[in-house]
Amino acid sequence: MNQGPGTIQLRQQGTSEWTIPGPWFSTFVALGEKMMEVAASKDTQNHRMLLVVPRRELVAPAIGFGISRHRFLSQRTYSVELTLDDLDDLPEGTQIRAVWPQRTRDAVFIGLDKKRNPPAILLEIDGVAHPPLGAKNIRFYRIGAPTPQGTKENKNLVSEKGTAQGIKEQFWSQVFPAAAFFSEGTHFERQMETEIIYPDLQAILGTNELTLRDAARFDYLSNDKHPHFVNVFEKSIKFQDLGSLEQDRMDMTDWVVLDGNTAVSRLSPSERLYGRRVLGIVDFANAVNQNPGFQAFLAEAGNLWLHKGQDGFDWTPPPGTYLWSWGAKNES
């Protein structure tokens, strides 16, 4: 994955044929990568970008894919593997992650039972003390990000303890929060199920079956299912009801993406997004909530400075697509 995304083919739900998407798709993938570059600068913390697209189908997942790709290539993660010695020094109450070959659990570290040989690990899972665990076949990680409790299904079988974590495992378990996407549930779910042929990634993951959900590493903000924490998705109608844990997780992401006219019109004015990097995607083809979307987004962006050009980074939008950005710094 050192080059661009290369030759990609897609197959949508309910269809039998693979189709090569036009350059527009890889251009939106590139936008996701550019967004991660922008996020590296502290000057851009309070930042709004309005992306107006001819049609929004597959735009947000492509951006999510670019974000995921950029994060993966960075090789950074908040997940640090712990040895028994490390656990010995770990303060009680620290959130850690226990990884069995097929499942992953987030837990609170209670301590080591050194009366046993080797020492057993004492954890609290879902607020309940777990029977002492031996270290065999389990790997422990310290997570530098609040992740929700609950069982996570490992997309791949984790390699045996004692072997170096493979690149495949790094992909599936990377904890490096990137973006929170808000959209309509059925619309977004359907797009995430789009199958993708992307030979580079398939070679790394050793599978031919890959969806945009996998490639973009989308998980759910309020119903976390996978060990990775890169992109999270939530229905925009749930936005106002997010609990503190979900809000904390959203706040850890570099970007909030409001996908579609309705999400933009409803969520742009939210105080929870003040001072955040927000990308709003408005769709020309859909008349519903189009002007309310523009109005709501521009009302908030109007508090910032409009930047000239494509925000200073080298991104040429696909035909019929427009991007404007606003920041706290006057660049004129």
Partner 1 sequence: MSHESIAELNLAYSRLERQGREPGKFRLLVLPGEAGRSGTQIINQVLRQNESFDMSLAEDLTRTLRVVAADFRGYCAPDTVSMAYWAEKLVELTTRVKEISGFLPQSVLTPLEELANRLVEWGTRSSQELFQALEAEVSLREGRVALVLSTPRLSNHVGEWLAGWSENEKITVARSASLRSLEITEIESVIFMGAPHRLFRSPKLEKLARALCLSGASEDVAFIAPRWACSPADESALQLLLPFQSDTKLPKVLPIATGQAPLVNAIADEIEDEDLAPATEEVPAVVPSLRAGTTPCRLLHLGERFSLPVEEDASRVTALQKDAISDQWEAHGRHPYDELHIGDLVLAIIDPSETNDLRKRAGFAMGEKFPVYENGQKSWKSKLSEMEHRFGRNILEKQLQAAGISAGHRFSYWSEPGTISPQMNEDFRKLLLFLGFTPSEANRTMELTREFRAHLIAEGLRAGLEVVRVLNEEESDPSHFDQGRTVILKELGNASYLVAPVTSVSSEVIMCDPSQVRSLVARNHRGTS
* Residues engaged in binding partner 1 (CB under 8 A): 10, 12, 15, 19, 21-24, 50, 52, 54-55, 57-58, 184-187, 190, 236-238, 262, 266, 282-291, 294, 298, 306, 308, 318-320, 322, 324
Residue closer to partner 1 by CB (options 203, 285) is 285
φ, ψ of residue 113 in degrees (nearest 5): -95, 95
Residues 6+ apart with CB under 8 A from 164: none
Q: Give the 3-state secondary structure of residue 166.
A: coil
Q: How far is the CB of 61 from partner 1 (least distance, A)?
A: 12
Is the C-alpha dihedral spanning 196, 193, 231, 293 positive or negative?
A: positive
Output the six-digit token pair for 208. 């031919």
Q: How far is the CB of 68 from partner 1 (least distance, A)?
A: 20
Q: How far is the CB of 193 from partner 1 (least distance, A)?
A: 12
Q: CA–CA distance from 154 to each of 103, 168, 246 (Å)?
A: 5, 12, 21
Closest CA to 293 of 318, 319, 266, 331: 266
Closest CA to 26 of 42, 50, 41, 9: 9
Q: How far is the CB of 262 from partner 1 (least distance, A)?
A: 5
Q: No. of H helices and E strands in the chain?
A: 10, 17
Q: How far is the CB of 237 from partner 1 (least distance, A)?
A: 5
Q: How far is the CB of 278 from partner 1 (least distance, A)?
A: 16
Cis peptide before 118 (omega within 30 of 0): yes
Task: Give the span between the Cα atoms of 53 and 28, in whole angstroms.
Answer: 10
Residue closer to partner 1 by CB (options 53, 158) is 53
Closest CA to 256 of 14, 21, 46, 30: 46
Residue closer to partner 1 by CB (options 173, 183) is 183
Q: How far is the CB of 57 from partner 1 (least distance, A)?
A: 5
Output the six-digit token pair for 20. 């090569």
CB 72 within 8 Å of CB 198 = no
Q: How far is the CB of 229 from partner 1 (least distance, A)?
A: 26
Task: Give the span between the Cα atoms of 168 and 166, in whole angstroms.
Answer: 5
The DSSP secondary structure of 169-231, one letter per residue, reads: HHHHH-EEEEEEEEE-HHHHHHHHT-EEE-HHHHHHHT-S--BHHHHTTEEESSS--SS-EEE
Residue closer to partner 1 by CB (options 38, 264) is 264
Q: How far is the CB of 275 from partner 1 (least distance, A)?
A: 22
Torsion, Cα of 257, 23, 5, 44 (10° steps): -30
Residue closer to partner 1 by CB (options 94, 222) is 222
Task: Give the span between the Cα atoms of 264 and 260, in whole angstroms.
Answer: 6
Residue closer to partner 1 by CB (options 188, 255) is 188
